[in-house]
Amino acid sequence: MRTRPTLSWTPTEDLPAATTDLAPVVAALRAGGVLVLSGAGLSTESGIPDYRGERGSLTRHTPMTYQDFTGGAPARRRYWARSHLGWRVFGGARPNAGHRAVAALGRHGLLKGVITQNVDGLHQAAGSPDVLELHGSLDRTHCLSCGAYGTRRELAVRLRAANTGFAPVAAGLNPDGDADLTDAQVADFHVVPCAACGGVLKPDVVFFGETVPPERVARCRALVRDASALLVLGSSLTVMSGLRFVRQAAAEGTPVLIVNRDPTRGDPHALTRVALPLGAALTDVAARLGVPVDDEPAG
């Protein structure tokens, strides 16, 4: 099933006022059993831009949709050229203080789990176990013909060999690892096929306009059902893939708390929205709970 992607959201009602008071977040975590739902805003401090913030990538680029990717070779050439270049930066991103705080809270038994809308793998790199990747991960590939999975590292080696000397200067990096390049810059890029069958390779992520696998949604709903509270970190909740879990929690009487600097589509369902930078806010929360957060590794 294909759906029309939702790229923007405009409030149609007065939203509750935001706060800078972290006390409700601290209280919920102290009780334990909190489920985290994270979005692109959590990774901005790692150098990966978000979609819809003040400097979000949607102000300058339209992300690849499933319909475009499957619709023809030119779109796939454009995607893989831009993604191949962007991966060099994206793949080297490191967890920030927010990721490390979430991992520390999990190690201390205060979290039910982590659902992330991000495809960057930074929760796992910070040490969070059993992260449910709602939209998949950029470090894997999937063949649309035979179904084989591969690693992005393997694909990068093959793409480099097929595109010797490809090193254009990008205008920017996007949350999906896609670098901003012109049509002229990608015109001569060579896409490689699936090594197993020669079919079309796709990153193992859910594109805009593509649906999240039903079994993955069911796993998320079960986590929401069993959580004592839902803590949303860095998501505008514009797309239904994340918003539905906020609506589920609210309908089931589970408190929803949001930490996001900008208004979100989930604000009407939330007990509070804290408008603070995520890294500092989560580090502060952990400190109030007596949970030490690992320092950023040197090197």
Termini Cα distance of the chain:
45
Give yes or no: residues 148 and 199 share one domain.
yes
The conformational region for residue 15 under phi > 0 = left, psi -120 to 50 = alpha, else beta, is: beta
Indicate yes or no: pTM above 0.85: yes
pLDDT, tens digit, for every residue of 169-183? 776 666 666 777 888
The whole-chain average pLDDT of the chain stands at 89
Question: pLDDT higher for 275 or 4?
Answer: 275
Domain C-terminal end among 155, 186, 205: 205
Give yes or no: residues 75 and 197 share one domain.
yes
Tokens for 27, please give them: 């209280």
CATH number at residue 167: 3.30.1600
Give yes or no: residues 43 and 127 share one domain.
yes
Give yes or no: residues 114 and 173 share one domain.
no
Write out the residue range of the structural domain in which residue 42 sits.
Answer: 16-48+95-135+212-293
- Examine the pLDDT at 1 and tell me if it is beyond 60: no
Q: At which residue do the structure tokens 């890029």 appear?
A: 189
Domain C-terminal end among 163, 180, 205: 205
Give yes or no: residues 233 and 281 share one domain.
yes
Tokens for 103, please give them: 């991992």
135 is catalytic: yes
Which are the contacts of 175, defined by CB distance < 8 A and separation ≥ 6?
Answer: 40, 43, 48, 49, 50, 51, 57, 118, 119
Give yes or no: residues 104 and 25 share one domain.
yes
Give yes or no: residues 110 and 122 share one domain.
yes
- Residue of 84, 135, 190, 269 with catalytic role: 135
pLDDT value, residue 295: 84
- Examine the pLDDT at 119 and tell me if it is beyond 70: yes
Residue 9 lies in a domain: no
β-strand partners of 233? 38, 259
CB-CB neighbours of 2 under 10 Å: 11
